[in-house]
Amino acid sequence: MFSKAYSAAIHGIDGLIVSVEADVSDGLPIFDMVGYLGSEVKEARERVRIALKNSGYMLPPKRITVNLSPADIRKEGTAFDLPVALAILTAFGHLPEEKLKDFLIIGELSLNGKVNKVNGVLPLVYSAKQRGFTKCIVPKENAKEGAVVEGMQTFGVSTLKEAMELMQEKEKIQPESIDMDAMFGQSHKDDIMDFAEVAGQKAAKRAIEIAVSGMHNILMIGPPGSGKTMLAKRIPTIMPELSFDESMEISKIYSIAGFLGSKPLITKRPFRSPHHTITTTALVGGGIIPKPGEISLSHLGVLFLDELPEFQKNTIEVLRQPLEDKAVTISRLNASYRYPAGFMLVAAMNPCSCGYYPDRNRCNCTINQVKRYLGRISNPLLDRFDICIEALQMNYKELQIQEQQESSKDIRSRVSLARQIQLERYQGQNIYFNSELTPRAMKKYCKLEAKEQTLLEEAFIQMNLSARAYHRILKVARTIADLDQSERITTRHLSEAICYRSLDQKYWGE
Amino acid sequence: MTKDELYYWLLNLQNIGLKKVELLLRTFGSVEAVYEASAEEFEVFRRECCPVTLRFSTQDIHTLCTNRNPEIIKERYAKLRKSGIYFVSKEDERYPEQLRNIYDAPHALFVKGRLPQKEEKLLAIVGARECTPYGREMAKYFAGALAKEGIGIISGLARGIDTHAHEGALSSGGITYGILGCGIDICYPKENFNLYMQLQKQGGILSEYAPGTSPLAGNFPMRNRIISGLCSAILVIEAKEKSGSLITVDYGLEHGKDIYALPGKPTDLLSGGCNNLIKMGAKLVTTPKDILEDIFPNYKQRIHDFKKNNKILELKEKIVYASLCLEPKHIEEIALLTGMTIDVLVEQLLALELKGYIKQIMRNYYIVIE
């Protein structure tokens, strides 16, 4: 007899529906699995056979063939165990065949018949929904993840037997449900970090506020212990709250990477801070079985690179292209995968190898050493930082000042407003933030009047700025004007943007 | 062969350095005598006159005896002249008078550009390589102001204070001399190449080392004795308590030169050497006038006191300008001092920067400039 169940495989960050066909016929008692399978999928044979036996189903000595179709795409992972077991049971007549076609089935089997959790349930269920499925069976531990997808009845099962009972409708199992509002509402309450905790650092805070408003990449330079890391960690707290769609997008990536943990959805902006020994693959994603890297895990959030010059040069250079495209494409012989990577890059570094330049009482580095330290970062990468700010080391007296510091909430409300202005302005143009402005769009949206033109011109001649700097200054000035809710870019906005202009090697150290 | 050619021959022999040349000349009496001496005479010289520490070897005698082809010497000398390098021996009348009188004076100098004249007033400006912006601005200011008054500025073309002293003198159209610790055809440090070229036009470059000599650490203290020998006074801008600049000062004291020192804050490591000099009796200088008065006895104040602030500024700019000094200040500190918010403050800072009154020495650190 022949039967067909449905399961799904991960392809990039999407799910691909895979039909699991089982056939039982006369012949030598062999259990065969075909369909371009990875070794862990091939091993499903043993797991399924023993799990069936231990769940009380005897397999009569027949020739069993299982095919995973489409047969020309390589299948990986252990999520096919459960659908294979159910397809075989159906082929042997334990279940009516038409039952199977309503369900999408995912799950790994233990030898004792238990269903174990798998990675990537969210994107799999999500694409099943898009393909018209309405019910799915997933491991109990992943049930909440699946329940997030609206319009899908997700059933969590913990054993093979339970799955059978569900199919046979012996017992009425309720689909998993989840209270989304409560989940989103709660996420901000457990924010333990706040900008109010950072004493002083007015200039740095202001620069960060501007950077977040326009999604500009920012580079912070300062001596050890000046609070660069502390500031960076608090950046997600001033970013606008995640919308459901955004949360879905991030959660899919985390689900595939297996970082979702016990939570069904990611409800907080990601903040990833990889150590500087990270490899290129870990940063951008890849591997034999491609997995998203840190840049995808920080999608719609912050990627923080502390001690930027300490990173391997070729590791950080690979960031250049994803920064432009907001996605990374990883190509393999069999397929190419596209992972989103729309992150805000925040980097921190010391001004020289000892960290104290220009304090000559503490820094003994020669000018050349200082220049060489900065030279470890290539100019093309430096160019991607729209904003650059020097964090100052606070002395004891300044730390003691009991000044009321602004809380993250206040800053966030201003940021949200500025972002709203940008969204409205660029509606329907595939631009969301000022940092994404093309030179052509800039001509339209960053018009300067005579007075501002002269100022910029003067600054250009006096400071010997490069053409690249010109565009970056204009973009940042646009964001500052948006924060000010001003349609026009005034001299003040422009001056501030020039002050934050990115590093130019020429002017570094004298 | 001319005397210059003979000196050129003697100073360009392999493994025969300044110490050996010195002893040879003293023993044989003149450069001609050395040129004509036989191998036996050198052997006697080696056995009887040379201290063991000099390591005058039979190999050196061989070198002295075999490299005597006058044609080759003449050809090489002509080639040197062709590349724009003058060779001035001690017996040449162009040899700087100031140097003639010092102990240990170099036997000959390689020169690019011009040589200091007999009646020329010369001041050496020395200081740390890793200087602060304060030192940099002061070196530029003093060198500029003094060079404008016709004083030639001597320094070592090294990084830091030396560089800025030369730059200051050049920018005010004055004359400045660089004394090298390497061969005259080598620009060390490399980043000073522009300065190296400029100096040849607006002054001169001097070295006692043969072309091709690399900048060895041991050469520099020797170079300092020429700096000190040429000048009539030494100004120390910034020096740590143990600094190479103090070697120049030691030579200067031996040569009987005036020592000037620019004071600094007691907490600044880089002013420690200067402050010590002042304690020991060096003249404390706060304006170029202090030096000019000593050099020109009838000096009347002609230069402006640099502290006078007669700039036309708006009120806010004035507040910001007043909060700045020659010590780099971060915008955070300036904001604290002026009580302005960051966005207002940066506007003022940019305006001042564009007017050329202040300067950003690195990200967000500002100083005033003269």
**B337-351 pLDDT, tens per residue?**
888 888 889 889 888
Determine which of A254-263, A315-324, A397-406, A430-439 has the lowest per-residue pLDDT on average: A397-406
CB contact under 8 A, A459 and B354: yes
Residues in Cβ contact with B169 at an 8 Å cutoff, skipping those fewer than 6 apart: B143, B144, B146, B147, B152, B153, B175, B176, B203
Q: Do B364 and A361 touch (CB under 8 A)?
A: no
Interface contact flag, B351 A480, Cβ < 8 Å: no
Residue A396 binned pLDDT confidence (cut-offs 50, 70, 90): low
In this predicted model, what pLDDT tens digit does every residue of A105-164 receive, in sequence order? 999 999 999 999 999 999 999 999 999 999 999 999 999 888 988 889 999 999 999 999
At residue A183, the pLDDT reads 77
The boundaries of the domain holding residue A97 are: 2-168
How large is the average pLDDT for residues B51-76?
Answer: 87
The residue among B359 and A129 whose pLDDT is bigger is A129
CB-based contact B342 A206, cutoff 8 Å: yes
A90 and A211 part of one domain? no
Closest among B116, B77, B113, B123 to B94, alpha carbons compared: B116
The number of distinct structural domains making up chain B is 3
A178 in any annotated domain? no
**Mean pLDDT calculated for residue range A434-443:** 89
CA dihedral of residues B87, B92, B93, B94 (deg, nearest 10): 10
Phi and psi angles of residue A286, each rounded to the nearest 5 degrees, phi first: 140, -150
Predicted local confidence at residue A189, as pLDDT: 61
- Distance from C-alpha of A272 to C-alpha of A13, rounded to nearest angstrom: 19
**What pLDDT does A218 receive?**
94
Record: contact B353-A201, CB cut-off 8 A = no
Residue of chain B with shortest Cα separation from A454: B354
What is the mean pLDDT of the segment spanning B62-66?
88
For B60, the domain range is: 3-82
Residue B322 within a domain = yes
Residues of A whose CB is below 8 A from B330 = 203, 390, 392
Task: Specify whether A193 is located in the same domain as A143.
Answer: no
Q: Answer whether residue B366 shows pLDDT above 90.
A: no
In the prediction, which pLDDT does B67 show? Answer: 87
Write out pLDDT tens, residues B274-294.
Answer: 999 999 999 999 988 899 989
In degrees, rounded to 5, the angle at the alpha carbon of residue B370 between the alpha carbons of residues B339 and B234 is: 125
A399 closest CA partner among A238, A207, A230, A193 = A230
* A164 and A190 inside one domain: no
Mean per-residue pLDDT for B314-318? Answer: 87
> Does residue B102 sit within a domain?
no
Would residue B17 count as lying in a domain? yes
B347·A491 Cβ contact <8 A: yes
Q: Are residues B139 and B221 both part of a single domain? A: yes
**In terms of domains, do B277 and B320 share one?**
no
Same domain for A347 and A305, yes or no, is yes
Mutate to test the interface with A, among B343, B348, B355, B365 (most CBs of A within 10 A): B343
Q: Domain holding B281: CATH number?
A: 3.40.50.450
pLDDT for A489: 93
Q: Kindly state whether residues A156 and A264 are assigned to the same domain.
A: no
Helix (H, G, I), strand (E, B) or coil at A24: strand
A179 domain-assigned: no
Residue A180 within any structural domain of the chain: no
pLDDT at A168 over 90: no
The answer on A436 and A476 residing in a single domain is yes
Within a domain: B277: yes
Q: For residue B303, what pLDDT is reported? A: 53
Strands (E), A26-122: 31-34, 63-69, 103-105, 108-109, 115-116
User: Which of A145-149, A389-393, B22-26, B227-231 has maximum average pLDDT?
Assistant: B227-231
Residue A505 or B369, more confident = B369
Number of domains composing chain A: 2
Search chain B and give the residue with CA nearest A210. Answer: B343
DSSP state letters, A356-424: -TT-TTT----HHHHHHHHHTS-HHHHTT-SEEEEPPPPPHHHHH--PPPPPHHHHHHHHHHHHHHHHH
Mean pLDDT of A375-404: 78
Mean pLDDT calculated for residue range B134-161:
92
Residues 6+ apart with CB under 8 A from A36: A68, A71, A72, A73, A74, A75
| B250 Cβ neighbours under 8 A, 6+ residues apart | none
A456 touches A476 (CB < 8 A): no
pLDDT in tens, B233-271: 999 999 999 988 999 999 999 999 999 999 999 999 999
Report yes or no on A224 lying in a domain. Answer: yes
- Whether A221 is covered by a domain: the verdict is yes
pLDDT exceeds cutoff 80 at B22: yes
Q: Is the pLDDT of residue B156 over 90?
A: yes
Q: What average pLDDT does this structure show over B306-311?
A: 59
Domain of residue B14, CATH code: 1.10.150
The strand ranges marked E within A406-473 are none
B288 and B176 together in one domain? yes
Mean pLDDT of A413-431: 92
Partners of A505 on chain B (C-beta within 8 Å) are none
Q: How many angstroms away from the CA of A502 is the closest CA of chain B? A: 9
- Is B350 in contact with A206 (Cβ distance < 8 A)? no
Whether B163 and B238 have beta carbons less than 8 Å apart is answered as no
Q: What is the ipTM of this complex?
A: 0.72
Q: What is the pTM of this model?
A: 0.81
CB atoms B332 and A202 under 8 Å: yes
Residue A126 sits in a domain whose CATH number is 3.30.230.10
Across chain B, mean pLDDT equals 88
Chain A's closest residue to B269, CA to CA, is A361
The secondary structure of B135-150, three-state, reads HHHHHHHHHHHHHHCC
Backbone angles phi, psi at B264, to 5 degrees: -140, 175
Using alpha carbons, list the distances in angstroms from residue B87 to A313, A396, B200, B209: 49, 61, 15, 11
**Do residue B322 and residue B291 come from a single domain?**
no
pLDDT > 90: percent of chain A: 51
Interface of A with B in 336-355 (CB under 8 A): 351
pLDDT of residue A118: 92
| Token reading at B284 | 């404390």
In a domain, A216, yes or no: yes
- Say what the pLDDT of residue B302 is: 58
Mean pLDDT of B358-365: 80
